[in-house]
Amino acid sequence: MQETILFLAFAGMAMVAGWFIQGIRASTTNVQTQPINEGRRSVLFWGLLVGGILITTATLWRWPHDASAGEGSVSVNVTGSQWSWEIDRETLPAGKTVVFNVHTTDVNHGMGITDDTGRILVQTQAMPGYVNQVRYVFEKPGTYNVICLEFCGIGHADMINEFKVVAEAG
């Protein structure tokens, strides 16, 4: 996915650069330009305006997205303190929406969840006085870690606690 986005960004940049080069070239040659066709310009303007409104409305129609976690979701409280995480469930189910209620008893921490390769799957801030929620569906059973993503003192790097994701019976 990231490669595709990078490729599209480069293609877009090349296109814009091409237009600029074309514009610079055209500005230095003395060519007679066509007079602007007012009717055609008007059609283009209103077409783009109406089309833009229709496309924007159609694609944003379902917003804001439903904030509920859905049936069968599971919630877990994750509380950070210098320098560990307290997770109030030992296991979480695979294939279900898990709602993490993230809180801290002292300073700001960055709550991140990583898989067994160390890849960050989801993250949110742990802030004093607030409970931040983040949702995730674990596809695979296994061991996952809650890590800290914000420097929070001498023990920051050791702020790692694991939990297990298990396949639901039945």
Judged by CB under 6 A, the residue of 156, 161, 162, 164 near ligand CUA is 156
Distance between CA 100 and CA 123 in Å, rounded?
10
Residue of 92, 113, 152, 165 interacting with ligand CUA (CB under 6 A):
152
- Local structure of 110: helix, strand or coil: strand
For 116, which DSSP code?
Answer: T
CA distance 144 to 76: 14
Q: Does 162 bind ligand CUA (CB under 6 A)?
A: no
For ligand CUA, the closer CB: 89 or 156: 156
Where do the H-state alpha helices sit in the chain? 2-28, 38-60
How many chain residues touch ligand CUA (CB under 6 A)? 8
Of 108-147, which residues contact ligand CUA (CB under 6 A)? 109
**Quick one: the chain helix, strand, coil %, rounded to 5?**
30, 30, 35
Residue 151 near ligand CUA by CB under 6 A: yes
Cα–Cα distance measured from residue 76 to residue 81, given in angstroms and rounded to the nearest whole number: 16
The nearer residue to ligand CUA, 92 or 146, going by C-beta atoms, is 146
Which lies closer to ligand CUA via its Cβ, residue 96 or residue 156? 156
User: Of the two residues 159 and 165, which places its CB atom closer to ligand CUA in the complex?
Assistant: 159
Contact footprint for ligand CUA (CB under 6 A): 80, 109, 148, 150-152, 156, 159
